[in-house]
Amino acid sequence: MKRLAVIGYPIGHSRSPAMQTAALEEEGLAGQWEYGAIEVEPDGFAELVGSLPGQGYVGVNVTIPHKHAALALADEASEAATAIGAANTLSFADGRISAENTDAPGVLEALAGVGFDPAGKTALVLGAGGSSRAVVWGLAGAGAEVTVWNRTPERAAELAAELGAEAANTPSPPAIEGFSLLVNTTSVGLERTGDSSSQPPATFKDLGLDVDQVSGEQAIVDLVYGSDDTELIAAGRRAGAKVVDGREILVRQGAISFQIWTGRTPSAATMRAAV
Ligand code: ATR
């Protein structure tokens, strides 16, 4: 059996096992390949990964909080993973660990899927964490003029300088009318199930961003997804914008990882249905 898995902490909520298993079944690989989930705390990550090839693992997806550590322990890394500073896909072969980042090409493929070409377009990216790095690197490489806004402006400035973007050093995001593409990489809109926090979840209004300013001329991407459309995605649909939701991003990055390990192109529709 060739084994694959997603590694994270926590990992219980992950839809990757269902999505990747559906793709293995559709490709007729389910008898020879399996995809599971492994939960491990940060201090056990490197040791766990080192033990996987000996247990029949061919590769893994890596998610929060291990994406930096995954890149650090790899023997070789793709240009994307190196520039982004994080890996979400590891492959094991010949005693070596290779690191890739499929988040950036996943976003670009999802945009192509709704007919949006970032070349020469203006893009506003909200957030300056790990996901933002992948999005900004991908969009800048595709020829977009990228502006990054973040609640903590220093992080936006640092990320923008490193990845060839502009930073908006303002307390609230700049007016969204000026941009062809709006991408949310912050956790605003995330459902907080089982969260013991007494704070109510943040909304875009709290940031000073009016989602009703979204127009039908724009493309909207939200990396957050939940049981329902997020506030931003719902506004995008109302306006008739080109809309890419967090599920679609999950599917696209997962499909590219699947291709890296198996050499086959899975059906995005099958993976989406399983999510
Ligand atoms: P990820 O790997 O998903 O990008 P992260 O690195 O923890 O996660 O980044 C989270 C992003 O969401 C950051 O840009 C964070 O802003 P700060 O840098 O100011 O912390 C943003 N974020 C989280 N909670 C937020 C909130 N309530 N309002 C605005 N931005 C928020």
Tens digit of each residue's pLDDT (9 = 90 or more) over 11-67: 988 999 999 999 999 999 999 999 999 999 999 999 999 999 999 999 999 999 999
- Mean pLDDT of the region 59-87: 97
Taking a C-beta distance cutoff of 8 angstroms, is the pair 136, 160 a contact?
A: yes
Is 205 one of the annotated active-site residues of the chain? no
Exactly one of 2, 67, 121, 242 is catalytic; which is it?
67
State residue 200 phi and psi, 5-degree precision: -70, 150
DSSP string over 93-111: ETTEEEEE--HHHHHHHHH
Tens digit of each residue's pLDDT (9 = 90 or more) over 176-230: 999 999 999 999 988 776 656 667 778 999 999 999 999 999 999 999 988 899 9
Q: How many A from CA of 55 to the centre of ligand 1? A: 36
Query: pLDDT value at position 196?
Result: 60
Beta strands in 127-263 (DSSP E): 145-149, 166-167, 181-184, 219-222, 242-244
Mutate to test the pocket of ligand 1, among 186, 198, 205, 250 (most ligand atoms within 8 A of CB): 186
User: Is the entire prediction scored with pTM above 0.85?
Assistant: yes
pLDDT at 126 over 80: yes
Q: What is the C-alpha to C-alpha distance for residues 25 and 65, in angstroms, rounded to an integer?
A: 29
Contacts of residue 33, Cβ cutoff 8 Å, sequence gap at least 6: 1, 2, 3, 4, 24, 58, 262
| Nearest by Cα to 51 from 102, 1, 3, 101 | 3
Q: Apex CA 109: angle with CA 177 and CA 7, to 5°?
A: 110
Q: Percent of the chain, pLDDT > 70? A: 97
Q: What is the C-alpha to C-alpha distance for residues 143 and 135, in angstroms, rounded to an integer?
A: 12
Residue nearest ligand 1's atom 12 by CA:
186
